[in-house]
Amino acid sequence: MSLQKLDIYHVRNLQQASLYPATKINLIYGNNASGKSSILEAIYLLGRASSFRSTTIKNVIHFAHNELIVSGKVRFTNAHVSTLGIRIDGKGIQIRIDEETRYSRSELAYALPIQMIHPKSYQLLDAGPQLRREFIDWGVFNQHPDFLNNWRNFKRILNHRNALLKTRSVKELNVWNHELQQYGTIVAEYRMQYLTELMPVFLQIMHKFTALENIELKLLPGWDADFLLLDKLTEDLEKDLRYGFTHSGPHRADFQLLIESRKAKDFVSRGQLKLLMLSLKLAQVQHLLNNGSKSGCILIDDAVAELDFSSRTKLLDFLADMDVQVFITATEQNEFGDLSNLGEYKMFHVEHGVVSEVDQNVSRETLNKV
Ligand SMILES: Nc1ncnc2c1ncn2[C@@H]1O[C@H](COP(=O)(O)OP(=O)(O)OP(=O)(O)O)[C@@H](O)[C@H]1O
């Protein structure tokens, strides 16, 4: 699947922009503060109904306006074309899919899965577990549509149990413990199965970028998996009551990337850590492709600039071979790496919020002179 057309109104400093992206590689360059990330933010809004850099969505609307609109035509592999649209104003978010109003963000997320890679993604392996849980859940969510309901049920029951802990309603806890065990175990099983399936795909991709060996992805499900979650909840009761929240369960899950049984984040170089993160994220998309699921778009913001030239070129060549649409930003054309093996791609230049497609012949001539 790919975005065939993208219309952006009032996103950050982009007053109005229309793009006809390439089905595969799209390179976006421009000076700092020109509006490159805002283009990726617009695509991200279309797929997630949220921003990857502002928790307050209103901040994304152009200062001089009260609303933003992003719409896009998505072409699926079966040639079906869908129209997606999102409108955000001071009152809320409106989602339209094929001319109909929809009320759930997850419908957009299924229609246009977005894999986002930006400088903060480099923290995937060395920051707290939240990013890693989101990483796994993005994969499971796109792979198994019934995961979302189980996850929502689990969260609802967890919130309820935590409320009971705060009011010390011990008698009622028993029923909720059983429910928490039921959905908690389902969520943990989905995640375990997902990581097991992802592992060979990840290794294959990772070996293209690094020479690291003896790698393992280890899920920590959020409690000692030798025991039933129910038993752990009973054992933790006193502690849970004291602190007013549930200590064990998939909401505390994490995963570790081990090399020779040691945590990668404790000894690999910064560059290797970045390549491991990239390989993990690309493996997620490749895994979806291998299973015939919707592949969506990969958005890479500023991230290639932190890689050496050879890694950037390997990355671009790998992306060009994948059957997926990619948008990458950089400040200069020559930052993307060697474009000679790339085949078809489009390049866009952004200047003071104005986006223009670069004539391929002109851009190739310029690059040959560099
Ligand atoms: N709500 C807004 N309305 C108008 N302009 C905004 C708004 N929010 C941010 N901006 C401005 O939009 C411009 C573009 O920002 P953006 O992050 O897209 O640039 P960029 O090209 O990715 O820059 P960099 O290379 O520095 O990351 C910046 O000057 C920023 O200050």
List pocket residues of ligand 1, CB cut-off 6 Å: 12-13, 30, 32-38, 59, 61-63, 302, 331
Tell me the C-alpha distance between 299 and 288, whole Å. 16
* Weakest-pLDDT range from 173-177, 231-235, 241-245: 173-177
In a domain, 134, yes or no: yes
Q: What is the pLDDT of residues 339-360, one digit of tens each?
A: 888 888 999 999 999 999 998 7
Residue of 10, 13, 348, 352 to mutate, ligand 1, most atoms within 8 A of C-beta: 13
Query: What is the number of the ligand 1 atom nearest to the C-alpha of 350?
Result: 21
Backbone angles phi, psi at 51, to 5 degrees: -105, 150
Q: CATH no. for residue 255?
A: 1.20.1050.90
Cα of 126 vs centre of ligand 1, distance in Å, is 28
- Residue 343 structure tokens: 């085949």
Is 7 inside any structural domain? Answer: no
Q: Which run of H or of E encompasses 329?
A: strand 325-330
Q: Which protein residue has the closest C-alpha to ligand 1 atom 26?
A: 32
Q: End-to-end distance of the chain based on CA atoms, in angstroms?
A: 34
Task: Kindly report, residue by residue over 32-76, the tens digit of the pLDDT.
Answer: 999 999 999 999 999 999 999 999 999 999 999 999 999 999 998
Enumerate the known binding-site residues for ATP. 30-37
What global pTM score does this model have?
Answer: 0.93
- Residue given tokens 């894999």 in the structure block: 115
pLDDT digits (tens, 9 = 90+) for 122-165: 899 999 999 999 999 999 999 998 999 999 999 999 999 999 99
ipTM score: 0.98
Inside any domain, residue 246:
yes
In a domain, 90, yes or no: no
Q: Whose CA is nearest to atom 8 of ligand 1?
A: 12
What is the pLDDT at residue 125? 93
Tell me if 231 is assigned to some domain: yes
Q: Is residue 270 part of a domain?
A: yes
Q: What confidence tier does 200 reach under pLDDT thresholds 50, 70, 90?
A: very high
pLDDT tens by residue, 204-231: 999 999 999 999 999 999 999 899 999 9
Number of folded domains that form the chain: 1
Residue pair 85/96 in contact (Cβ under 8 Å)? The answer is yes
**What's the domain range around 173?**
116-274+289-293
Give residue 260's identity as a one-letter amino acid code. E
